[in-house]
Chain A
């Protein structure tokens, strides 16, 4: 009796199908991706049941962190350049073309106008370490008010979004709201995260 021979099968698997799937997913993510704008501070937004989505473009983002510092960000490189020009004229600071270029690429910042030159001179990677004081909002030196006003002049369709941290104290939020109201921005958005079920 001869032994029944078990035929040896190759362990190599056809990778083609897997490659197809991998590249399909890759293509999807590459097309769907929109890089997260680098944020100067981490902010945990409060949750709400609201399901309105924030529009993609023409957004002015006011970030308020836990300590009450206000950060300012605006969409669009051209708008940013225009805005910087206007602010430079207002505060009589001459910005160089390099600084305009740098500012056009800055998504969000929180320094007084006087420190802006110094801030823009830093490498993008070092800016996180810069001791940002936030944009002054007190009534004596309300730079935020100017930023808001000049932004509206630079881009009339701008929408204001306020992104506050859960633990931000109310007075600073009120100050920001009052500033917006003073500049006739009576319609704005609070950015929230989606409410978890069962809460």
Chain B
């Protein structure tokens, strides 16, 4: 501590030389520490350390899509996922022979809902997805490089007979639903999906499907 010494101490020593008091060179650091921590607190509160996470979306070039391109998706590969109110998902497959939509099924988001179905459907069509976790383990234990891992994953994901998911959101769904379903695509290793406008037929279909399940 910085002591300020009172002058009264040495008065009674008579006859002796008045010596200059040796002042302590120590300074009280407490206010400085206070200030330091105050500034730390300020910077900690104002700083935004983590960069935001993002999800990359690629949409097709609008003008280039022709009718032909649209119908190229094989009925057996395509799964249509409709997003609707109350965080519900309705999915259906198109019957290959008749071209009519199959029976719509209502599901929830999350690991027991739509994810289970997506994983299952994707696995049926593209058995190679099973090896993605293996590659991932190899990558984690440094057996393969990141490039190899990524190349393998993208090769598996772009398998041409794999599941194609057509995502259609109705007007009652929210942005969260859209992000969630895109997230599921990533979790389920589905390489091919598209966000498409909903058709009147499907709005009708949603109306006729009881959502409570």
Instruction: List the interface of chain A (C-beta within 8 A of B).
Output: 12, 15-16, 18-19, 22-23, 25-26, 29-30, 32-36, 45-54, 56, 64, 161, 163-171, 173-174, 177, 180-182, 184, 186-195, 199
Contacts and interface: CB of A to CB of B under 8 A. Distances in A.
Contacts of A169: 171-175
Interface string B13-52: 0000000000000001110110011011001101111011
A30 B41 CA distance: 11
B106 interface: no
Contacts of B175: 46, 64, 164-170, 173
Interface residues of B, number: 48
A189 B57 contact: yes
Given A22-B40, A168-B175, A195-B183, A52 B54 contact: yes
Given A16-B29, A166-B174, A46 B62 contact: no
Tell me whether chain A's interface is mostly helix, strand or loop, or mixed. Answer: mixed
B176 to A, nearest CB: 4
A186 B183 contact: no
B171 A171 contact: yes
The winner among B32, B52, B59, B169 for most chain A CB atoms within 10 A is B52
Given A170-B175, A182-B62, A187-B56, A29 B48 contact: no
A188 B172 CA distance: 23
Interface of B: 1, 28-30, 32-33, 36-37, 39-40, 43-44, 46-49, 51-62, 83, 110, 169-180, 182-183, 186-187, 195, 197
Contact of B176 (A26, A161, A166, A177): A166
A191 B47 contact: no
A81 to B, nearest CB: 25
Contacts, number: 156
B56 to A, nearest CB: 6
A38 B107 CA distance: 39
Given A167-B174, A168-B174, A182-B62, A29 B47 contact: yes
Nearest to A31: B43
11 contacts: A15-B32, A26-B39, A30-B43, A36-B46, A47-B179, A49-B187, A54-B53, A165-B175, A169-B171, A186-B58, A191-B52
B179 A46 contact: yes
B46 A33 contact: yes
A23 B39 CA distance: 9
Contacts of B176: 46, 166-167
A169 B39 CA distance: 41
Of B29, B53, B110, B182, chain A has the most CB atoms within 10 Å of the CB of B53
B174 A186 contact: no
Contacts of B173: 169-170
A174 B54 contact: no
Given A36-B46, A48-B179, A187 B57 contact: yes
A164 B186 CA distance: 19
